[in-house]
Amino acid sequence: MFGDEFVEEETGSESFLYADIGSIWTRAVLVDQVDGRYSFVARGEARTTLEYPAANIVEGVREAVQEVERASSRTLLGGDGESGPQVLLPEDDDGDGVDAFLVTTSAFRPLKAMVFSTELSAEARAALAALHAFYVDVVGTFTVPQKAGGDWGDHSLADLFQTVDRQRPDVVLFVALDKAEPTPSIEHFLEVLNTCNDLYDVRQRPTVVLVGQTTLVSHLAAQIETMNPVEPVSVGEDEAAGAREALVNVMGKLLHERRLARLPGFGALQAWSETPVQPTAVAQARAIELLARQLRRRLVFVDVGGEHSHLVMADADFTYSMVRPGLGLGFQLQELLKRVGAEAIFRWVPGLLPERELEGLLIHRSWYPCVPPATRDALWLEQAAGRAVLQELVAGPFRHLPDSFRGVNGHVTCDYVIGAGGVIQGAPEPSQALLLLLDTLQPTGIVHIMRDRLGLVPALGVLSQTEPEAVADLLAQHILESLGTVVVLSGPFQPGKEVLQFRMIHPDGATYTVTVEGGRIYREYLAPGMRLELELRPARKVDVGLGPGQPVRIHVPGGTVGLVIDARGRPLTWPETLVEQRRQVQEWLFDVGG
Amino acid sequence: MEPFKTYVPEEVIVSPRVRVRRERMLRSLGQLFVRIGQLVHPHDVVAKGPGHTTIHLVDVAAELKLKPKAALKAILVEPGQTVKAEELLARQSGLFHRKELRAPVDGRVMQIDPLGRVVLQVMAEGETLRAGLQGKVINLMPRHGVVIESVGAFVQGVWGNGRSHVGILRLLASSPDDQVSPEQFDVSVRGSIVVVGRTASADVFEAAARARVHGLIMASLRPELLDVAQQQDYAVVVTEGVVGAAMAPPIFDILRRHDGHEAVVHAVFSPARPRLRPDILIPLQVEDAPLFHAGRPLATGDVVRLLAPPLLGKVGTVRDPWVGLGMLESGVEAEGCEVELADGSVHFVPLHAVERLTGAERLGEEEEPSEI
């Protein structure tokens, strides 16, 4: 599906091994050249070994690589030294080892940040949005008062001290893009910072990131650097927009210093790899940005992780990346249940298992996140929890969509949706993964849906910096599983009433016409790699993304699910009782063959 | 290349006799009060951490039921001023009444905010680290902590309410599946660690609090009672989980053997650190005991607990530690092992859905303890 848009260049590496260390799973993937083109060879996974008894991330990587060795019958580890076997680099004449070893990780706690600003201008807000891409948990946002004794935005000074005392932020971000010289309010910030420092052990004081005009930043940095580590982000008077890029670099550095580099075993792992170990979400965002630029299409990417989840929206000119720390299918499930309530999760579980039992199973799952869902009920519950996580992830960003992603009635629209994370890539039926993404993102228009079955999207992000032709080869070989094309119908319509007629025109000229009723989902088989012409004739007020009643004739690609017509409307509507809602979900699942 | 795969499972220790070594570490550098070879009891202080600065917020407006402006007028201290505990912080006098508020702790006034709150900077007392178990100090890590070794029967659970206590073990349950009633908590269980069997109701928690027990040990706890258990002052340990399983027979067997003996309950739990498990130690006056080594691969004969429905909570014995890939009822493919249950049935179980009860295989070899 993808691949032709990428320019191929000559590079040195022929084979590479990629490892992603998540909070729960460590996964390894081997890619090698076959007939001159990069191809997926084998993958393996093991539990992440951050905890006792190993307490060293290297152990989990070794186990995952050993899985790859077994699957590929190749030797990739060797050199039983003092610190144990390591990845053999480069590949030798016997085919042992690999030419490159790439690593990404998300197995760390988020950075805690407190944000102080003199005035939150549009530029300042744009700069701060960059924080979300770096596993940052903003524990408080305060506006510096004009004079001592004033309020700090919506908070008092007491709130501020209490936040510092309870949260002990790693980073204090001070944004003053509108000021060139120190003012009394900025001096007041320095006093407060000094007092906050008393709450810390001297060696653990937060790093202060100063974002502002050069003269002010220099002045403040000189005063603060005697108390705290300082990272200046200087921008010219009329270059406030440039603050974002500079802040991205600083946050990347801080995340590396304060989290990645402190992972047990990080030093050993970094020594094996010539490419710096990167945060998974940063590599994912880079890959999605690259795809969007090359294809000139709008992409929405979501990853449901164990401890963090990630959303990326990108088109030819714009990229938005947001990591939600603490939102995942690991131990935080119990918190999620408290936050969103049982009904928000259990409505997505078809079947008759009582709520009390579902609750017990969900908590059990949060204590044992590695246990695979063995029964259908356990699988539905896991996918229901995945839906709740995704809904939380996109709720905020989808309320403030950029114009290019705003579809019918303000719902999101895009050309491609890509899903990643265990619950999506591990769904045994592709239709389950497709429906999970469709139910939670609720896109409008005509969308192609894919999943990152091999977990290689972050690797593409790392490779794009050094081996761009490997990215092209891998994409050309469908490393992203194409689930299918979805046509979403929006507008006022009654369940059971005719809302669309569509005609499928096969390459051999054969045609097939279907009438669609409101409230249902339709699935037509259209195999991966196939394309067919589709003629859509919506009813008068029904919108397929081009305006109410507008017919359209398009060519659509197939997928492992095929072609799906989603006539449930936007937003999805629910029957009154939980029992009816679960029955409704059962029907939707049945409609798509899940 | 050898296709056979070794797999290191999750494990809990369920051992009739084991040598336990526990690190007791300060959160920040401090001072140690014991020496190598010293015998310690659970309540002995082994180390103390340094004091640290913290914040204490005194909401004068709320305490004296005043509006912020009135509270600000009533406050008698100023930023920068040092105050002693019980020193007058605020006073409001009316025609027929006088309201006063005193400092709850020693501290320095950092700030008084416009809402009528006094921010006190307080030097909190350093961490006091107790031995937590009966045993011998076998290692010192200067300024960091100590390692204490003890020999005893040892059972790890899956959930705890964060409390630690010592008491006499009392079995109120007569079988792993038994359930006790609140009426059974009379004066005879005061100060005891009570084994209640399958689960406990909210009434049982209340009765246990009234009887001033030091701990409750149960197999399962309904999800809605986790918060109730969390609020208790006594230690609560759950050995199986939240889905209503009976207590694993090897665990019940060990607790039954030691009915009436002193036990130390360490009910730690952190969902973020799944291998930090709550435990129950029953010290034994014997020298000879094996040392537990974590990380042994799954092997034939291991006693395991199953973690996935439909066999969730069942205990069995590993017949083959690796039988390759298998398809589960959910459609998910997973590598698995073969486990034989007590009824003789043999099941394919995903590797990640077994948890070894390490030490339980030795239960049959151990004699019943005669005297502690």
Domain assignment present for A9: no
Q: Which of A70, A334, A368 sits opposite B307 (nearest CB)?
A: A368
Could you tell me which residues come within 8 angstroms of residue B114 by beta carbon, excluding any fewer than 6 positions away? A149, A151, A156, B68, B72
Q: Which domain holds residue A63?
A: 15-107+263-274
Q: A434 φ, ψ to 5°?
A: -65, -45
Average pLDDT taken over every residue of chain B? 90
Closest chain B CA to residue A23:
B272
Give me the residue label for tokens 């305006």: A547
Residues A399, A532 share a domain: yes
Q: Which residue from A324, A349, A353 is spatially nearest to A339, judged by alpha carbons?
A: A324
Sheet with B45-48: list strands edge to edge. Answer: B31-32, B45-48, B128-130
- Does residue A181 belong to any structural domain of this protein? yes
Whole-number pLDDT of residue A381: 97
A156 and A183, same domain (yes or no): yes
Segment A393-418, tens digit of pLDDT: 999 999 999 999 999 989 999 999 99
Mean pLDDT of chain A: 90
Q: Does A367 reside within a domain?
A: yes
Whether A126 and A101 map to the same domain: the answer is no
Q: Is A161 on the interface with B (CB under 8 A)?
A: yes
CA A455 from centroid of its chain's CA atoms? 12
| pLDDT tens-digit series, residues A9-35 | 444 568 999 999 999 999 999 999 888
Chain A CB contacts of B117 below 8 Å: 156, 158
Do A374 and B353 make contact, defined as CB atoms within 8 angstroms? yes
> Does B223 lie at the interface with A, CB-CB under 8 angstroms?
yes
A314 with A434, same domain: the answer is yes
According to the model, what pLDDT value does residue B144 have? Answer: 93
Q: What is the CATH number of the domain that holds B118?
A: 2.40.50
Q: Does residue A253 belong to any structural domain of this protein?
A: yes
Beta bridge partners of A152: A155
Chain A: residue whose CA lies nearest to B240? A364
Q: What is the pLDDT of residues B42-74, one digit of tens each?
A: 889 999 998 878 888 898 988 898 888 899 999
Q: What mean pLDDT comes out for the span B71-85?
A: 92
Interchain CB distance below 8 Å, B332 and A426: yes
Nearest to A198 among B53, B113, B244 (CB): B53
Q: How confident is the model at residue A312 (pLDDT cuts 50, 70, 90)?
A: very high
Q: Residue B46 in contact with residue B147, Cβ under 8 Å? A: no
Q: Helices A430-441 and A578-592 meet at what angle, rounded to 10?
A: 130
End residue of a domain, out of B124, B149, B166: B124
Domain-embedded: residue B178: no
Over range A452-461, report the average pLDDT. Answer: 93
Q: How far apart are CA A486 and CA A558, in angstroms?
A: 10
Kindly report the CATH number assigned to the domain that includes residue B360. 2.30.30.140
A165: chain B residues, CB-CB within 8 Å: 54-55
| Per-residue pLDDT tens digits for A345-370 | 999 999 889 999 999 999 999 999 99
Same structural domain for residues A486 and A370?
A: yes
Strand B346-350 to B354-358 pairing: unpaired
From A438-452, B181-195, B278-292, the region with the lowest mean pLDDT: B278-292
Is A429 touching B (CB cutoff 8 A)?
yes
Domain for residue B221, yes or no?
A: no
A502 and A556, same domain (yes or no): yes
Which of A274, A300, A335 is the last residue before a domain boundary? A274
Domain count, chain A: 3
| Mean pLDDT of the region A117-127 | 75
| Whether pLDDT at A116 is above 80 | yes
Looking at A220, A239, A274, which one is the last position of a domain? A274
Q: Are residues A373 and A409 in the same domain?
A: yes
Distance from CA of A52 to the nearest CA of B (A): 7
Polymer length of chain A: 594
Q: Does residue A8 lie in a domain region? A: no
| Pair (A430, A505) in one structural domain | yes
Whether chain A has a CB inside 8 Å of the CB on B307: the answer is: yes
A462 and A322, same structural domain? yes
Residue B22 falls inside a structural domain: no
Whether residues A43 and A170 share a domain: the answer is no
Residue B317 maps to a domain: yes
- Shared domain for A429 and A310, answered yes or no, is yes
Contact B309 A47 (CB under 8 A): no
Query: Apex CA B337: angle with CA B309 and CA A69, to 5°?
Result: 120
Expressed as residue numbers, the domain containing B57 is: 52-124
Cβ within 8 Å, pair B295-A54: yes
Distance of alpha carbon A593 from alpha carbon A430, whole angstroms: 9
Query: Looking at the domain assignment, is residue B173 inside a domain?
Result: no
Residue B319 lies in a domain: yes
Q: Cα torsion at A339, A341, A347, A351 (round to 10°)?
A: 110
pLDDT at residue B91 is higher than 90: yes
> How confident is the model at residue A298, as a pLDDT?
97
Question: Is residue A10 assigned to a domain?
Answer: no
Asked if B121's CB is within 8 angstroms of A156's CB, the reply is: no
Average pLDDT over residues A270-298: 93
Distance CA B158, CA A513 (A): 58
The domain spanning residue A72 has which CATH number?
3.30.420
Asked whether residue B10 is domain-assigned, the answer is no
Q: Are residues A95 and A118 in the same domain?
A: no
CATH of residue A208's domain is 3.40.50.360
Task: Tell whether A440 is covered by a domain.
Answer: yes
Q: How many domains does chain B have?
A: 2
B58 part of a folded domain: yes
Query: If you average pLDDT over residues A57-62, what whole number do you get?
Result: 94
Which A positions 296-335 lie with beta carbon below 8 A of chain B? Answer: 331-332, 334
Residues in chain B: 372
